[in-house]
Amino acid sequence: MSEHDRDRTSRRASMRATILIGIGVMAAVDEIVFHQLLGWHHFYDASTPMIGLLSDGLLHAAELIAIVAGFFMFSSVRRRQMLAPRAAWAGFLIGAGGFQIFDGIVDHKLLRVHQIRYGVDIVPYDVAWIAFGLVLLVAGLVLARRARAQGPEPAPSLE
């Protein structure tokens, strides 16, 4: 395998693993902060409180699966000494931002499974939610582009 092919493979493998981790971490932050600590909503609010609680449990299971699967993939990349740190951070930010935007547009607006908050003017919350996701996503895309442009990264130490 040429150096160029190995670098491309390393970047892709690093990003795939950390995109999953980013999705899982952002879902966990959403669930812990907005569902549990603040109690602003459940994942599915169009039914009874028990169904809302069940939907939160299913979201929690899905986020844990994403985080665990991502870390298994990440450890495989490290074990094969193919970790590309810039690409890994890019993947994490892309996953986190992508989740945030998906949740804000698809879950909140298109499917209407829940809103960020009830009983208040929702527009500032929606703008902040989606804007934060865009910041994360754009930062990840910029970092991914820089990782691609800067070429191979030094092999990380496994110490």
pLDDT for 124: 95
Q: What average pLDDT score do residues 52-68 get?
A: 95
What's the rounded Cα separation, in Å, for the pair 92 and 144?
10
pTM over 0.85: yes
pLDDT for 2: 75
Q: Which two tokens stand for residue 105?
A: 């547009």
pLDDT for 97: 98
Q: Which of 86, 79, 36 is nearest to 59 (CA)?
A: 36
Element (H, E) at 35: none
Q: Residues of the chain with pLDDT > 90: what percent?
A: 73
CB 45 within 8 A of CB 119: no
CB 14 within 8 A of CB 93: no
